[in-house]
Amino acid sequence: MSTLSIIIPVFNEEGSLAELYREITSVAESHKYEFEIIFVDDGSTDQSWEVMGDLARADERLQCLRFRRNFGKAAALRAGAAASVGELIITMDADLQDDPAEIPNLILKLNDGYDLVSGWKQVRNDPIGKTLPSKVFNWLVGWMTGVKLHDHNCGFKIYRREIFDEVKLYGEMHRFVPVLASARGFKVGENPVNHRARTHGVSKYGWSRLPKGFLDLLTVSFLTGFNQRPQHLLGMFGMLSFMAGGLGLVYLTVYCVLRVSFEAFADWLPLHQRPLVIYSLGALLLGAQLLCMGFLAELIVAKGQRDGREPYSIKEHLGAQSQDPEQAA
């Protein structure tokens, strides 16, 4: 059995930490897992740090990290993963809404041949103001990215370590790990998990998560589709717009020449009364701007390649200097 690292982001959750620790250790011990728990205190202002400190002093399987201020859940997960050693990483919320008794089921599902298994809060114990937007969000993410899960934003997930090595979390990208991982070829699945109502503390996300989540979704679909070739998107629209503007101006030039050269066309409207002039110029400028933005984006991508970010993800490597475990044994 691989080592498990259970990473828990904590932002003002003093009331649930001790119980959560107890539940996780009891499940992990009863299944004889080799495991570590990592609490990441994301700038809590309550007694969370003191509570986790007391727990850590009594159990060396528990590590605690403390941010200087609140950096957000994605940063907390990233820091936790960096401090962890397990081949399998589990992330779960600190508020006791995720039930540690589901950990064995997530592991079983992962071993069916997945690299990431996301929890799916099939019966969700949250107010309707949370569950309804979440349904729309999940549908939208599936439609825009092709990664169809019922519950992308579920904090309860299991991952093979390579995912955290390759997918670097920042901002509020924790909602999109399945999409980002799938874009690098990792196999993503889901498994229903028991979900409980929050009994301690308050939810950290309000309505503002909707517009933010949507903007992030646009970013993610751009990043996953055009990360290595932004000019293909920007330049495509740029070229179309530039061509439309150019055609408009060519037409207007011919029009103008005919109008001044031949008596028969003398009653045509003068150029300054043709709105097409404005449209054509607008389209030409927009096109040039999009193309330039595309080149700037390509410069950034090219720099990223020089800085060592790999545009591919290797699953296995056999043969000379390979890491084949059977050969090494």
Contacting positions for ligand UDP (CB under 6 A): 9-11, 13, 42, 70, 72-73, 76, 93-95, 97, 155, 203-205
Q: Segment contacting Mg ion (CB under 5 A): 10-18, 35-43, 94-102, 136-144? A: 94-102
Q: Segment contacting Mg ion (CB under 5 A): 59-67, 87-95, 188-196, 239-247? A: 87-95
Q: How far is the CB of 218 from Mg ion (least distance, A)?
A: 25
Q: How far is the CB of 16 from Mg ion (least distance, A)?
A: 10
Which of the choices ligand UDP, Mg ion, none does residue 155 contact, using the CB cut-off of 5 to 8 A by kind?
ligand UDP
Residue with tokens 């055609």: 247
Q: Segment contacting Mg ion (CB under 5 A): 37-45, 86-94, 234-242, 245-253? A: 86-94
Residue with tokens 């503390």: 201
Q: How far is the CB of 155 from Mg ion (least distance, A)?
A: 7
Instruction: List strands edge to edge, sheet with 4-10.
Output: 62-66, 35-41, 4-10, 88-91, 157-160, 116-120, 188-192
What is the three-state SS of 233-287?
A: HHHHHHHHHHHHHHHHHHHHHHHHHHHHHCHHHCCCCCHHHCCHHHHHHHHHHHH
95 binds Mg ion (CB under 5 A): yes
Q: How far is the CB of 142 from ligand UDP (least distance, A)?
A: 19
Q: How far is the CB of 155 from ligand UDP (least distance, A)?
A: 5
Q: How far is the CB of 194 from ligand UDP (least distance, A)?
A: 14
Which of the choices ligand UDP, Mg ion, none does residue 72 contact, using the CB cut-off of 5 to 8 A by kind?
ligand UDP
97 binds Mg ion (CB under 5 A): yes
Query: Which of 123, 300 has the CB closer to Mg ion?
Result: 123
**Could you list the residues that contact Mg ion (CB under 5 A)?**
93, 95, 97
